[in-house]
């Protein structure tokens, strides 16, 4: 929970849309894109999240995206766009 609070606080606004959701036996894959602002500057980026599910709920969560593109914007670099 602390990770998501810190992640969210980096943005003024952020909205994610899911382009593709694939569910299988014990796992799901979500392809997404997020758009928002950091310090008033527009940012958009996309990625894929993998969720593993066991008897008692989520057992693993992994997200893959290009951290350099997002990091440049969070550090005050140029516009980040897909």
Answer for the pair 81, 72: CB distance below 8 angstroms, yes or no. no
Q: How many domains does the chain have?
A: 1
Q: Judge whether 39 lies within some domain.
A: yes
- Average per-residue pLDDT for the chain: 85
Domain that holds residue 49: 2-74
In a domain, 79, yes or no: no
Q: What is the pTM of this model?
A: 0.73
Q: What is the pLDDT of residue 17?
A: 96
Can you read off the two tokens belonging to residue 82? 């897909």
Q: What angle do CA 32, 37, 39 make, to 5 degrees?
A: 150
Helices (H), the chain: 2-9, 67-74
CATH number of the CATH domain containing 13: 3.10.450.50
Q: pLDDT tens digit string along 37-51?
A: 888 888 888 999 999
Does residue 62 belong to any structural domain of this protein? Answer: yes
pLDDT in tens, 39-82: 888 888 899 999 999 999 999 999 998 877 777 766 765 444 44
């Amino acid at each position: 929970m602390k990770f998501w609070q810190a992640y969210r606080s980096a943005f003024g606004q952020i909205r994610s849309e899911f382009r593709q959701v694939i569910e299988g036996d014990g796992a799901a894959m979500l392809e997404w894109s997020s758009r928002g602002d950091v310090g008033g500057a527009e940012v958009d980026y996309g990625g894929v999240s993998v969720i593993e599910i066991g008897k008692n709920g989520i057992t693993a969560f992994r997200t893959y995206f290009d951290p350099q593109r997002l990091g440049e914007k969070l550090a005050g670099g140029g516009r980040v766009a897909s």
